[in-house]
Each structure stands twice: as C-alpha cells, then as structure tokens.
Structure 1
Amino acid sequence: MSQSESANAALPDVRVFHWMNRAIRPLLASPLHRLVSKRLMLLSYTGHKSGRRFTIPIAYFAWDPGTVLAMSSVLTWIPSMRSGPTVQLRIRGRERDAVPAVVEDRGELADLLAKFARRNGSRAARALRLGLPGDRQPTREDLEAASAKTRFVVFHLTP
C-alpha cells in the first residue's frame, strides 16, 4: 500500500459524514437536540462561491464569554467564514447570530491549542485527533505540528 493510500485508509469515507450529517441535522433542530447538542451545533451560512445556503453540524467548544470555538481539518466550510459574514448557529436549541473569525496563522493556532489543552486537559487535546499526546501537556513542538492539520474558527456571538 502506498503512503497516500495508507493515509486515506485512516480517514473515514466522506459518504459516512454525509449520512451522519443527514441524521444529526434534524436531531439538532428538534426538541430532542439535548441528546447531541452538548458538543455539536448547527452552522448555517452562505457559500462564498455558490451563494447557496448550507446548514451543517459541527463540533464546538464554549470558549470565552460570548465566544464559541470550532475546528476542522476538513476545510470545505472554512473559506466561507473568511469574509466575516454573520452566520447563524443553533447551540443547545437556541438560534444565535455570530461573526466568525478564522485562525490560520500557525503560531496563533499553536497558542489556541495550548490554551485548549490547559483548559480541557491533555486527554481532551488528544481527542482532537491532531497527534497531541494524551498523557502530558503538549510541548511547543507538538502544538506546532498539530497546528498544520487544522483551522479554528472563533464565533463571536451577537447579542
């Protein structure tokens, strides 16, 4: 098996995500959202190229007051966040408007990952599946290597 084949074998098939999204999206929009809304929210936005409206479930973390943090190594929705348009989030059953700020600078990403690991613990940092250790706080080298694999979006909630 070639190196690219083995790397692709480790990633779930995109069809699995599409199927899961179809099941999770209506659940998050329903009164039963509590089953999954502790860690998942709905993001509704307009595509930057197509102009189409999308609603996708994404993992999130409550961050600072009035701020929600989301990350993705799948970058399909990230470009639509770069222009900073107001988007809609459905968090724990409540609709909220938010202004996204994409963090792409490797140093800033490493800093955010370090802060995440301090706040949530090394096991939670490992669960991000970016190669961070789960048995100790990550070193700067660990954080910089992990920052190459992801982007963060900080959503500033509007009142």
Structure 2
Amino acid sequence: MSNQKTGLLHHIIWFETKIFNPIIKKILTSKLHWPLSKKFMLITYKGHKTGEKYTTPLYYREKTNTLFVLTMKDGVKWWRNFKKQHPVTIQYKGKKIKTTAKAEKNPETIEKYLKEMITQSNTWKIFLKLYGIPINPNKKQLKQASKKTILVKFKKHQKQTKKLRKQN
C-alpha cells in the first residue's frame, strides 16, 4: 500500500474512532436509536489480554440469526478478540443480547461474502471504497480485498436481556 493510501486510511480510522464512534454510541444508547439501529449495533466485550471492557459501534448486515460485520485486518484491533469464539453483548435494535462472536479468517469465505455485500448494497460499496476496495471490483481485486478483510459473525439467537422499564 502506498504511503498516501496508508495516510488516508490512518485519517479515516482516526475520524472513525475519535469523532464518529462516540456520536453513534450516544445515539444508539438513546431513545432516538431507531434510525441508526437498522444498520448499526453496539458491541461490548472484555479484551482477551487486558480484561478491560470495550464498547464500539459497528455497521452490520443481518442474515437469518446472524449479524455480519466486515472490518480491515490492519488499522483496527477489536476483531482480534474474536479469533476464537468470545462472549459479547450486542445492543441491537434497542435490545441487549448476550451472545458470542467469532472472526472468519478464511479468504474464500470472506470473498464470497464481500461479493454478496457489494452486489446487494450501495451503502456497503461506499463503505468498502473508504478502505480501498473498488466499488465494482474484478475477481482479482475481490480476492486481494478478501485477504485484507475480516468477517466477524455475531449470533443473535442467544440470551436476550430484558429492556429496563418502570413498573407502576
């Protein structure tokens, strides 16, 4: 990757973590979460090395009982906590769900998923373009992109915690 592209990616990640993510977190934990909850969720997990609790918003795609998140291997580190199945709480459409997640590292599986995402969603095309993946990649570009990308799968069918409500 050229220095110019590396610098741009660094700036995108800085903007995402310092400005965008805190705003999205605030909205997703408010009563006004519904416009963003259709595409964003919050994950809360303990770091596997530090034991510290982390919360981060993620752009997801839903398929059956699974929420899928794509992220870049380099530049962001949260996904490394999910190399093996790891417990996580997701805040999804206003509900908290205790579940597990696991990172998929197989480039062939990721390539298939990337192709599906790109053909079905213009939003994903733009999102992936920010990370240097062409909007309409050819087979070679798709294969290269799959080697730089991680797919994390979150099961949503596990224990759902109840919303806290005032009882009169």
Tell me what 1:55 maps to.
Answer: 55
Tell me what 1:131 maps to.
Answer: 133
Residues 125 and 132 in structure 1, CA contact (< 8 A), matched pair in contact too: no
Can you give the 5+ residue segments of structure 2 that lack an aligned partner in the other structure?
Answer: 159-168
RMSD: 2.0
Tell me what 1:66 maps to.
Answer: 65
Q: CA deviation at 1:103?
A: 1.1
Cα separation, 2, equivalents of 1:116 and 1:15 = 25
Tell me what 2:118 maps to.
Answer: 117
Q: CA deviation at 1:89?
A: 0.6
Runs of 4 or more above 4 Å deviation? none
> Is the aligned partner of 1:84 residue 2:85?
yes
Q: CA deviation at 1:132?
A: 3.2
Cα separation, 2, equivalents of 1:26 and 1:87 = 19
Q: How does 1:94-105 map to 2 (within 5 A)?
A: 94-105=95-106
Can you give the 5+ residue segments of structure 1 that lack an aligned partner in the other structure?
Answer: none
* Cα-to-partner distance string for 1:134-156 (whole Å, 9 max, x where unaligned): 4xxx4432320211221110111
Tell me what 1:8 maps to.
Answer: 6
Tell me what 1:32 maps to.
Answer: 32
Residue identity over aligned pairs, in percent, reads 22
Residues 110 and 140 in structure 1, CA contact (< 8 A), matched pair in contact too: no
Tell me what 2:145 maps to.
Answer: 146
User: TM-score, normalization: structure 1?
Assistant: 0.82
User: TM-score, normalization: structure 2?
Assistant: 0.79
Count of residues paired in the alignment = 150
